[in-house]
Amino acid sequence: MNDLVEVRAGVYHDSVTLMRVSQALSARPGVEVAVVAMATELNVALARDLGFTVPPATPGDLLIAIRAASEDELSAAVAELDRRLAERTAGGGAGRQDEAHPRTTRSAARSWDATMVLVSVPGEHAFAEALDAIEAGLSVMIFSDNVPVEQEILLKDRARERGVLVMGPDCGTAVVAGAGLGFANVLRPGPVGVVAASGTGAQQVTSLLDHAGVGVSHVLGVGGRDLSAEVGGRSAVQALRALDEDPATELIVLISKPPAPEAAAAVRELGLTKPVVYALLGPGQEDLTTATEKVLGALGRPVPEWPSWPAPGEPARPAPQSLRGLYSGGTLCTEAELIVGTGEFTDFGDDAYTRGRAHPMIDPTLRLEALAEVDSGVVLLDVVLGHGADPDPAAKLAPAIEAARARGVNVVVALIGTEGDPQGLRTQAARLNEAGAAVFTSNAAAARHARWMIGAA
């Protein structure tokens, strides 16, 4: 085998670009493994675990580690790497290549006559860009994670003073007047406005609504920490009031992973004119599917049977087993853990796993590795569809499920998405089901099925 390890100092590319380049190189004939990533501690450790000798590097450097069967195949892989990175760099100004690039977020927004800014840079740089947008009088969606909570509070206080909204940090999902931002499902327009301190929670509720034929006006993500004790619902309060004044919104849903009691009280006591359904997860609280059914009831719409596909050859009376939850969505992971009440759960979308690498809804590597290590019991996991997510999650997950089933592992999948999503909801469901998984469009239903599978009460 022939190895190449290179550190390119001060060269930055976003994690999604690097993940796709790594996948393209890994698919080349003769290439055994390719790691192209920012040289974070996690990625350097990954390269070393693969047997590469990595020289000193910083998280601001680009790490390249390629192993190929021959020198010619290694050289060809490096040539493709350089070509792909050069294309990404040259494509940054597509559509206005004859003009000078704006030097600040504010000047860029002004040149495009923007009303909202989406910030997706490493977390340590997000504050400056978001503040620049706020000072320009623009609302901002901060896709970046790993932003200090003190900076989040400062940004949200300044946004309130300027009369604009901060969505985030770590805001993965939003839909504004029909335009999806971040990880967004294809949703029909309708009367329901959503405020969400949870990206995948919003995707679960809105996808179920879509299955029931009900659409949304807006989905305003506010970041997973917004309803924490420190942040106190600063953006949630603003977003709820905005939807209360929105003529296209008839009913509002507030979705959150377990909130701080004082933050939950603050949003419940706003005195809005429109009805609000609270989907605030926590012990003794309703799950997201039940909250969705409550929305349908308030709108006078029937509750359908949520689509599901039972696993082929599943035992009628399962013996007690262990359970592993391998999730990409933090709120879905929390919901499942609350319902199951036992087992070991991991949220691979947590900041600890995404620093310097793509979100698991895009790059399934860490989850696939974890699934391969399970040799008994039940595995419960989510697959989230929509724009921004893996264009074909079943392509890699279905073989991993087949291998797990061959080891005697039962797999239960919560498939979150709509019929209009580009991956094809029913196509994905069929491939996962054929691989041996029980598939549910309701995460709560998937969790209850997993609980039954392990013999829990």
| Distances, alpha carbon 455 to alpha carbons 86, 364, 410, 447, 450, in Å | 54, 29, 13, 13, 9
- Write the pLDDT tens digit of every residue in 85-122: 988 766 554 444 445 667 777 777 777 777 899 998 87
| Integer angstrom CA distances of residue 11 from 62, 78, 81, 209 | 6, 16, 14, 43
Q: Show contacts of 67-72: CB within 8 Å, 24+ apart.
A: 67/1, 67/2, 67/3, 67/4, 67/31, 67/32, 67/33, 67/34, 68/1, 68/2, 68/28, 68/30, 68/31, 68/32, 69/1, 69/2, 69/30, 69/31, 69/32, 70/2, 70/30, 71/2
Q: Show the tokens assigned to 236.
A: 């949630």
* E-assigned strand segments in 56-102: 62-68
User: What CATH number was assigned to the domain covering residues 2-93?
Assistant: 3.30.70
Number of H helices, E strands in the chain: 16, 18
Looking at this protein, which amino acid is placed at residue 60? G
State what percent of residues in the chain have pLDDT above 90. Answer: 73
> Where do you find CATH 3.30.70 in the chain?
2-93
The per-residue DSSP string of 95-153 comes to: T-TTSPPPSSHHHHHHHTT-SEEEE-S-HHHHHHHHHHHHHTT-EEEE------HHHHH
What confidence tens digit (pLDDT) does each residue in 299-321 have? 999 999 999 999 987 766 667 78
Please name the residue that has the structure tokens 């000193």: 56
Q: Which of 136-140, 250-254, 265-269 has the highest mean pLDDT?
A: 250-254
> For the residues 41-63, what does the mean pLDDT come to?
89
Q: What is the pLDDT of residue 362?
A: 84
Residue type, 96: R
Comparing 316 with 165, which gets the higher pLDDT? 165
Span(s) in the chain for CATH 3.40.50.261: 105-298, 308-453
Phi/psi at 183 (5° precision):
-85, 110
Contact 357, 227 (CB under 8 A): no
**Mean local confidence (pLDDT), 322-334:** 95
Task: State the amino acid at position 411 in one-letter form.
Answer: V
pTM of the model: 0.84
CATH topology of domain 105-298: Rossmann fold (3.40.50)
Mean pLDDT of the region 335-358? 87
Residue 375 gets the label, from left (phi > 0), alpha (psi -120 to 50) or beta, of alpha
- Among the listed residues 349, 373, 379, the one whose alpha carbon sits nearest the alpha carbon of residue 361: 349
Q: How confident is the model at residue 405 (pLDDT cuts 50, 70, 90)?
A: very high
Q: Of residues 333 and 143, which shows the higher confidence score?
A: 333
Domain 308-453 CATH class label: alpha beta
β-pairing verdict for 438-440 and 308-309: antiparallel
d(CA 62, CA 89): 14
